[in-house]
Amino acid sequence: MRFILAIEASGPHTEVALLDEKGTLLHEMAHRVPFQHSRVLPWMLEEILAAVDGSWKDIRWVAWDQGPGYFTALRVSLTVLKAMGVALDIRVVPVDAERAFVDGLSIPPGTPVALGLDAQKQELHFALLKKADPPVVQIPMQRLPKEEVARLLEMHPAEVLVGSGMSRYFPDHPALAHPTPLQPSAKGVGMLAVRLVARGEMTPVSPQDLEPRYGRLPDALVYSRPAPKTVADEGKRGGEPREHTRKKR
């Protein structure tokens, strides 16, 4: 039996799931201690394969949440995927976090959803989508000050608000979902990817070709030019980060 492996590591938690080729969930695992991706992701992959008596060779392809998300979290999962690509020739279907978020909501089709992920420094990664199969992006994801998000919410009223940024900066908004998820689920990422591949909208690619959508780059790093792609600068291909060192005078 061939499996679809789904990895969700764009947020603070780490999740993995196995699905069959029709998108039916077979097994899932979640580690809720925040920011333990590098420590727990490798053994979680081993454990979930063991739970279904599977092996690495049984994985047909991997569904991966490519962000926007935390820089270190995405780097860890990307490193794992690249290693799998070299060792096992496994290919990957990258899924946008905002579509996976809305796809996993139990709301009627056509419902407008405002997604806001906390980008720190009084900013959000904001997008407006409509619930559909798959979700339709009406305002693409972008990093905005909370004041600009408030203006957009007045101009484009949403029936549902979700995301860590919405709960932090708009806790009293009447449309805020309670509780609001911090990130998509691995099974949701996998199920959406299976449907997109079945419809010909996505094709598995080499892990070496993946471009994670970093939310915000760490302030403690200085980057080579051109800078790595972030949500605020989606069109640029990135160089590798290097540590900042102060020059001696």
pLDDT of residue 181: 83
Q: Do domains 3-98+184-223 and 108-169 have the same CATH topology?
A: yes
User: What letter represents residue 77's amino acid?
Assistant: S
The residue with tokens 């938690």 is 13
Lowest-pLDDT choice from 98-102, 184-188, 242-246: 242-246
Residue 1 — pLDDT band, cuts 50, 70, 90? confident
pLDDT of residue 229: 58
Q: Yes or no: say if 64 and 17 are a contact pair by the CB < 8 Å rule.
A: no
Six-digit token string for 34:
């925040």
Q: Whole-prediction pTM value?
A: 0.86
**Res 84 pLDDT > 50:** yes
Q: Classify the C-alpha dihedral 145-182-186-82 as positive or negative.
A: positive
Lowest-pLDDT choice from 88-102, 142-156, 159-173, 234-248: 234-248
Residues comprising the chain, all counted: 249
pLDDT of residue 178: 83
Q: Which letter does DSSP use for residue 60 in this model?
A: E
CA–CA dist 45, 17 (Å, integer): 9
Cα–Cα distances (Å) from 240 to 174, 206, 208, 217, 232, in that order, read 42, 19, 14, 12, 18
CA–CA dist 30, 37 (Å, integer): 11
CA–CA dist 14, 31 (Å, integer): 5
Tens digits of per-residue pLDDT, 38-76? 999 999 999 999 999 999 999 999 999 999 999 999 999
Superfamily of domain 3-98+184-223: ATPase, nucleotide binding domain (3.30.420.40)
pLDDT of residue 215: 82
Which of 108-117, 208-217, 232-241 has the highest average model confidence (pLDDT)? 108-117
Closest CA to 213 of 180, 235, 193: 235
Beta strand 14-19 with 25-31 is antiparallel
Tens digits of per-residue pLDDT, 196-205? 999 999 999 9
CATH entry, 108-169, from 3.90.1170.50, 3.30.420.200, 3.20.20.80, 3.30.70.1290: 3.30.420.200
Q: Yes or no: say if 73 and 79 are a contact pair by the CB < 8 Å rule.
A: no
Cα–Cα distances (Å) from 68 to 30, 33, 48, 124, 161, in that order, read 20, 20, 25, 11, 17
What is the DSSP annotation of 161-218? EESHHHHHH-TT-TTB-SSPPSS--HHHHHHHHHHHHHTTS---B-GGG----BS---
Sequence spans of domains, the chain: 3-98+184-223, 108-169
